[in-house]
Every structure is written in structure tokens, then in C-alpha cells.
Amino acid sequence: MNAELPTRRAVSDAPFPAGGNIRDKLRFALEYAVLAPSSHNSQPWHFVLQDDSVMVCADRTRALPVVDPCDRELVISCGAALFNLRVALCHFDCGCEIRPFPCPADPDVLAEVRVRPEGYRDADLASLFPSLRRRATNRSDYGPDNVPLDLQKKLREAAAKEGAALACIDEERLREQIAELIAEGDRIQFTDRHFRRELAAWMHSSRHSDGMPAYSKGVGKILDMATPVVSAAIRTFDVGDSVAASHHKLVQGSPMLACLSTTTDDASAWLAAGQALERVLLLITDAWFDASFLNQPIEVSSLRPRLRDLTRGEAYPQILLRVGTGQAPRWSSRRPVSEVLW
């Protein structure tokens, strides 16, 4: 297990402004909100800060129209950022009230978080704060350590608290069937030149604060590929067979898969799924396990019902994870809060 994994600091080096006003405290807490995961590390959120509240909003200029045409994953990413904000506020003993979709006329406003002295506090969320600072998507090969049944139960309960369901799959036959589904999704996606161009557009140099760094030797890890490729090659060539083979091998070597699903498939469900996802990921981190995403069978609409049937989850699968223990991951970059405050 990654017992030596260092703690990632918040974006700011300053201490929490305990004696400051609510606006100062909210801005500080946003340093942790932006540590949430997002598709292609697109970080598709922005925040509107007021004297005693903050609006969590979708930044659709950072959408992925090919892989995520309905902005489903975009809203899930924003839900994960919202959950991080909740964790940070609880850790800093700031009671808050949360209203999802407070502006019906503006669907980009996903939630309002208002700090109140009498607001809700949750010790369980506060206890996740150290994990929030350590969590990272780990795309390396995983070791043979099984995910304990008591942890699986905690993960299912965590998802349920946020209005989602989590299926934990550690049986070899089912993992093999899902691995084949993931590989099929890879081949379908990489056949589409528009998908390849979109993916390549989010592969940047390591100096960028978003996207996936196109390290000449490390991009294979970033994309879960066995063969290192650069963004130009992805844009030009169909490497779907290579990616499919690599993902198939990764799943075979992962002790557990986890599928997060919801009963409906709308913005409210996606926001709930994002919060459930981050709660699950933080618990995985707290137990010194790792996770990474394999969402191809969900992103390819024709495969989504087959994934639902295999995982026996709710009607709409939203996120597919592999869970295990790997080598210490490379932290992905984040935009500073100053760039996401509107």
C-alpha cells in the first residue's frame, strides 16, 4: 500500500483565516474544492463568491463535446468539487447550508453553499480532510492486495449517503467480462477521429495547469496505455487496439472494480453522483488504496446497458473505477483559485 505517499498541500501556503470574515474563509476552502478529479483534468468549474456564500457553477467553455456531449461528466466533476468544499468547511468548523440548483433560470449554477453559525456540520466529513489532500488518480499497475469486505461495505454506504449506489465487483469472471466491455469501448472511441482530436487537445506540456501532461515517457501511464505515444500520434492514428489491450490487462490485474450508478439520468443525479464519487474516493484514499477511471462503457452509449446488467446496479451507470494499490502517483496540476473565481 502507498503508506509513503506524501500529503499534497493546498494551493495556498497561508493558514486558515480563523479570525477573518466568512468570505475569506470560503475563499480559503475553495483551495481544496479545486483538488477534485475531472475528465481529462479539464477542471470545468467556476465559483461566484459573495459575502457569506459561494455559487458552484459549471464552466461549459471547458466541456468535452465528443466524449461528454450532454455534459454529464462535467456536472459530475463539479459535484466532486462541491463535496470537497463541504469536507473543507466541516474540517474548519464552518456550518453551512447547501441548495442544489438554486437558480432555475440558470442551469449553470449547480449549488449555493451558504455559511451559517447554525449550519450543518458533519464529523464524518471533517475526518476525510487528510484524504482530500492525499487523493490522486493512480493509473499505475495495481498489486494483488484484495479490497477488504468491510471497506467495500463502507464504500457502498458512502455512495448511498449521497443518493447513489455502488456495486463492488471482485469476482474474477465478472471482472473479465467488464474488461472486455472496456476494451470494446476503447476500440469504438479511438476509431472516431473527433474523439482522438479532442483527447489530444487536452494533452499539454507539464507547464500547463490543466489537461494531461504529454510526457514523452510518461504519457503511457497517464492514459493507462502500455505503449508511450504523444498527442500528435493520438490525433493522427487509431491506437484503439493498443489501448484496449492495455486496459484489459490493467483490469485483469486490479483486485476490484466499482460502478457508481443512479436511478435517474439528469443534472440532479449527476451532481449527486459527483458527490458520491468523491466521498467514495476519499474513503478509498483513507484506507491507503488507489483508484482510477475506466468510463469507456459509460461514455459509449450502446455499451452502457450492458455494463448495468453486468454490475447489477441502478438503472444508469455513471462512473466505473478500478481499485487496488499501486506505486505513488504523479500529482496532476490544478488551476489556482484566482482563475476560477468569477
Tens digit of each residue's pLDDT (9 = 90 or more) over 87-112: 999 999 999 999 999 999 999 999 99
Fold agreement (22-135, 149-324): yes
**Domain with residues 149-324, CATH architecture:** 3-Layer(aba) Sandwich (3.40)
How far is residue 247 from each of residues 85, 176, 177, measured CA to CA in Å?
32, 11, 13
Phi, psi at residue 2, to the nearest 5°? -85, 55
* pLDDT for the residue 9: 46
Ordered by start, the domain boundaries in the chain are: 22-135, 149-324
Between these two residues, 147 and 248, which has the higher pLDDT value? 147
CA–chain centroid gap for 106, Å, is 24
* DSSP string covering 154-202: HHHHHHHHTT-EEEEE--HHHHHHHHHHHHHHHHHHHH-HHHHHHHHHT
Would you call 19 exposed, middle or buried from its count of C-beta atoms within 10 A (0-12, 13-18, 19+)?
A: exposed
Pairing of strands 203-204, 212-213: parallel
Q: Which three cell numbers stand for residue 208?
A: 500547463
How far apart CA 248 and CA 175 sit, in angstroms, is 10
How far apart CA 183 and CA 105 sit, in angstroms, is 41
Tens digit of each residue's pLDDT (9 = 90 or more) over 121-177: 999 999 999 999 899 999 889 999 999 999 999 999 999 999 999 999 999 999 999
Overall average pLDDT of the 283-296 stretch = 96
According to CATH, what is the number of the domain 22-135?
3.40.109.10
Q: How many residues does the chain have?
A: 342
- The candidate with the shortest Cα–Cα distance to 1, out of 146, 169, 166, 170, is 146
Mean pLDDT of the chain: 88
Contacts of 62 (CB under 8 A, 6+ apart): 42, 43, 44, 74, 210
Phi, psi at residue 100, to the nearest 5°? -75, 140
How far apart CA 124 and CA 126 sit, in angstroms, is 6
Q: Scanning the structure block, which residue is given the C-alpha cell 456564500? A: 53
